Amino acid sequence: MAKIIISEDDFQKFQEYFYRKTGIQFEESKRYFVDKRLVERIEATASENFRGYFTMLRFQASGAELQALVNLMTINETYFFREEYQFACLVNSILPEIVARKKDKSPIRIWVIPSSSGEEPYSIAMCLLERWADINKWDVEIISSDIDTKILAQARAGLYSARSVKHVPKSYMQKYFRQTAHDYQLSEELRSAVEFTRVNLMESADVRQYRNFDVIFCRNLLIYFDDVSRKQAVETFYDALHPGGFICLGHSESMSRISSLYKIRKFPEAIVYQKPLEGR
């Protein structure tokens, strides 16, 4: 088989298409990363060249090839208790405000998007169980979503490397994990505390049903988007949140340039964003 070459023109076509589909913008500096994965899929699908593959990708009714490509192109870096100060903020500052307002005693709903392999939503579940005094008085629903179906399967399985659990407190390790030959397996109790779903944040048909959340964690995703996609994402979150609901972003992400829909709240532990309460 002849060596498959991705030309500059091919790269640009692909870059534009992938951006429209996912919001992810690949700069020229990511050329090697992108080309390598494209060639891998061109070969796996026995396509003749980029042109044949790209046509199939765009017109395939099932969307299976696009999903396979998305699973290869996403960067899933994450670990337990990453940016932990925000979990302290959730327990000490955000939840007390939410429960004080929740007169109807409806469940507290938390959306963690993107989930990657699940370390973030499971860390949140552990923090609530171990550090929030009111946990037994409230129903809490944690829903966690990602565009990558392969990483979601990993999240549901709850198997983690030593590197991934490095920052988990010892007592939580003993309580919530079981060591296997090669990994650490999360307990069934904790796995059942999080519901994982496939969502493309850039796809309005996917996000439409996500409503009535009290808190959204969207950390380390907006860094891969340009300002247009970021704006679309935070507008989606606006519709998904209750009035007065909160958003936590990653430490290098900010809303200031993208949207004025939210109020900035400076809590002792972290700066977060809040959808204004009606009439205020």
Which residues lie near ligand SAM (CB under 6 A)?
A: 22-24, 74-78, 82, 113-114, 116, 120, 146-148, 151, 199-202, 219-221, 250
In whole angstroms, how close is the CB of 94 to ligand SAM at the nearest point? 17
In whole angstroms, how close is the CB of 105 to ligand SAM at the nearest point? 29
| Element containing residue 197 per DSSP (H, E) | strand 194-198
Report the residue number, 76 or 274, with the smaller CB distance to ligand SAM: 76
In whole angstroms, how close is the CB of 219 to ligand SAM at the nearest point? 4
Question: Considering only CA atoms, which of 83, 99, 40, 97 is closest in space to residue 65?
Answer: 40
In whole angstroms, how close is the CB of 86 to ligand SAM at the nearest point? 10
CA distances from 180 to 92, 103, 152, 177, 184 (A): 34, 45, 21, 9, 6
Report the residue number, 47 or 194, with the smaller CB distance to ligand SAM: 194
Question: Considering only CA atoms, which of 195, 167, 254, 265 is closest in space to residue 219?
Answer: 254
Report the residue number, 241 or 249, with the smaller CB distance to ligand SAM: 249
Output b/e per residue, 196-220; b: 16+ Cβ within 10 A.
beebbbbeeebbeebeebbbbbbbb
In whole angstroms, how close is the CB of 146 to ligand SAM at the nearest point? 5
Report the residue number, 114 or 158, with the smaller CB distance to ligand SAM: 114
- Tokens of residue 174, six digits: 């003993």
In whole angstroms, how close is the CB of 175 to ligand SAM at the nearest point? 22
Distance between CA atoms of 126 and 109, rounded to whole angstroms?
Answer: 16
In whole angstroms, how close is the CB of 106 to ligand SAM at the nearest point? 26
Output b/e per residue, 117-153; b: 16+ Cβ within 10 A.
bbbbbbbbbbbbbeebeeeeebebbbbbbbbbebbbe
CB 124 within 8 A of CB 165: no
- Name residues whose C-beta falls within 8 Å of residue 279's C-beta, 6 or more positions apart in sequence: none
**CA 125 distance to own-chain centroid:** 15
Report the residue number, 4 or 88, with the smaller CB distance to ligand SAM: 88
Distance between CA atoms of 181 and 249, rounded to whole angstroms?
Answer: 35
Report the residue number, 98 or 152, with the smaller CB distance to ligand SAM: 152
Report the residue number, 23 or 47, with the smaller CB distance to ligand SAM: 23
In DSSP terms, which residues pair with 108 in a beta bridge? 140
